Amino acid sequence: MNTLFAARAEARKNFESNRNLTAGSAELSKQITHAEEVAKFLRENVVQGQAKDDEGNYSMCHNTCHSYIY
């Protein structure tokens, strides 16, 4: 879970650092596009798993509620 919390904190930090961008500016458009690309990458490429045993084996979670980062 630490990785998830770190990712959330980093995303929040980046949004906060760009809070003062002007609506309609090229830089705001660039930052929005970047955020959308990151979200797409995470949805399509990150696999969530669950530890199976103490030997470091994992199984994939097939629950659809894990399909999105909250």
Supply the pLDDT for residue 1: 58
- Classified as helix, coil or strand, 51 is strand
pLDDT band at residue 70, thresholds of 50, 70 and 90? very low
Contact criterion met (CB below 8 Å) for 49 and 58: yes
Contact criterion met (CB below 8 Å) for 31 and 23: no
> Helix axis angle, 2-17 relative to 26-45, nearest 10°?
170
Six-digit token string for 9: 């904190």
Tell me the pLDDT tens digit for each residue of 14-32: 899 999 999 999 999 999 9
Residue 11 has pLDDT above 80, yes or no: yes
Tell me the pLDDT tens digit for each residue of 39-68: 888 888 777 777 888 888 888 776 554 455
Q: What is the DSSP-derived secondary structure letter of residue 16?
A: H
